[in-house]
Amino acid sequence: MPESNWKAGLRAVAIPVLATIVGLVVGILCIVIAGKDPVLAAKAFVRAVAGEPRMFGNVLVSTIPLIFTGLAVAFAYRAGLFNIGVEGQYLMAQIATVVVGVWWIPPQGLEWLHPIAALGAGAVAGAIWGGIVGFLKAWKGVHEVINSIMMNWIALFTADWLLKYYLRPDNSRAASYDLQPTAWLSQGLIEGSRLHTGIWIALGTAVVVWIILFKTPLGYEIRAVGYSPGAAEYGGISVARALIITMAISGAIAGMAGSVQTMGLNHRFNETSALLGYGFDGIAVALVGRLHPAGVVLAALLFGALQASSGLMQAMAGVPKSVVSIVQAVVIFFVAAEGLWSFLQRRRAAKKEVTTA
């Protein structure tokens, strides 16, 4: 008996919701182990999320990069590609955005072009960084995960080298030159918060990703390749082309995360000696969002709230910030261990068989 649509939908939602609950329970356990008061922590969380409009604004500030990175991971995953290289694409895009944002001076009257150019440069840089991985997969069959990881570290050191040799005014400064104000995204959507117009770019990107995936021939090809590369090839789809395009688009989306962060929030590239985990956040968001753009936005909001509230939870309830990483890890773990849940599903299915028989 074919299952009704809404039931299948419910099941798709059930796993991330259950995994999130498990994650939060572990988080509460950690708070208790740390000898802190979970009720106070919960109060701090609620206050940090909804206490004042500006605080909700800060949640959205944390949500913006998560929407992009989550979309980037989800998009690639649809083609059966695991883009663990979001971090590197993000970094290279920041560098490209800094170059355009600092050195390109838009002609009089065309200042509005500046953010578009800076964002475009970031997207292209991300697309190249991701596209290389897709190209090597299509051409030489090299697994995208290994190359993505390598490209992350190459990006880290390339960015560090460019920053230290070319992008900063002097050696004492741990950041690049500031972007010209014409390349900034305007803040102040909510008074008192640093919420910037990047939120509209993020939501717009989610819509575009949805359209590409589900309403265009390209999206159909991408999903066909993800479902079964062999069958797709047989059906006349160029798998190699799909792999390269998918990784390039995924990289472009990841790059936009870095660009928007630079243009809306930091206005410069800050020195970093370690990968900061934007890519890993994106993996969590994509999985919890069930690889669907709408789900990604919701999951980004959840993790954004967790991240944004970690400061106040620490200040008010003494909750260590590391608890957020632990919660995130547990959620990923339980979404990933599909066998754990299919066990439940199988048993349910078996029961149904018995009753229908």
Partner 1 sequence: MSVGFFTILLTFIVATLRATTPLLLAALGGVFSERSGVVNIALEGIMLSGAWAGAYFSFISGSAWIGLLGAVGVGVIMAGLHAVASIKYYADQVVSGTAINLLAVGFTEFMLNRVWGQAGGSPEVASLPNIFGLNLMIYVAFILAFVSWVALYRTPWGLRLRSVGEHPLAADTLGINVYKMRYAGVLLSGVMGGLAGASLSIGLLSRFVDGMSAGKGFIALAAMIFGKWHPLGAVGATLLFGASQSLSTIFQLMGIQGIPTQFFNMFPYVLTMLILAGFVGRSVAPAADGVPYRKTN
As measured in angstroms, the least distance from the Cβ of 336 to partner 1 is 4
Q: Check binding of 79 to partner 1 (CB under 8 A).
A: no
At 66, list the tokens: 């998560």
Residue entry with tokens 């993800």: 226
Task: Pick the piece of the chain touching partner 1 (CB under 8 A) from 171-179, 211-219, 243-251, 280-288.
Answer: 280-288
- Per rule CB under 8 A, is residue 320 in the interface with partner 1? yes
Residue 66 binds to partner 1 (criterion: CB under 8 A): no
Q: Considering only CA atoms, which of 82, 90, 93 is closest in space to residue 148? A: 82
Tally the C-alpha atoms within 13 A of residue 217's C-alpha that lie toward its C-beta: 3
Binder of partner 1 out of 14, 25, 337, 344 (CB under 8 A): 337
CA-based nearest residue to 300, from 34, 7, 28, 66: 66
And the tokens for 172? 């004492």
Stretch that binds partner 1, among 8-16, 56-64, 145-153, 213-221 (CB under 8 A): 145-153
Contact letters for partner 1, residues 13-32 (x by CB under 8 A): -----------------x--
**Is residue 274 a contact residue for partner 1 (CB under 8 A)?**
yes
> CA 266 → CA 27, 95, 97, 250, 258, distances in Å?
30, 13, 12, 23, 10
Single residue of 10, 46, 116, 146 touching partner 1 by CB under 8 A: 146
Residues 6+ apart with CB under 8 A from 59: 48, 49, 301, 304, 305, 308, 309
Binding mask 121-140 for partner 1 (x = CB under 8 A): ---------------x--xx
Are 24 and 30 in contact by the 8 Å Cβ rule? The answer is: no
The whole-angstrom separation of Cα 96 and Cα 77 is: 26
Q: How many CA atoms lie within 13 A of 184 on its CB side?
A: 14
Q: Does 229 participate in binding partner 1 (rule CB under 8 A)? A: no
- Kindly tell me which residue out of 160, 178, 233, 271 binds partner 1, with binding defined by CB under 8 A: 160
If binding means CB under 8 A, how many residues of this protein chain bind partner 1?
50
**Contact between 41 and partner 1 (CB under 8 A)?**
no
Contact footprint for partner 1 (CB under 8 A): 30, 33-34, 82, 84, 136, 139-140, 142-143, 145-147, 149-151, 153-154, 157-158, 160-161, 164-165, 274-275, 277, 280, 283-284, 287, 320-330, 332-333, 335-340
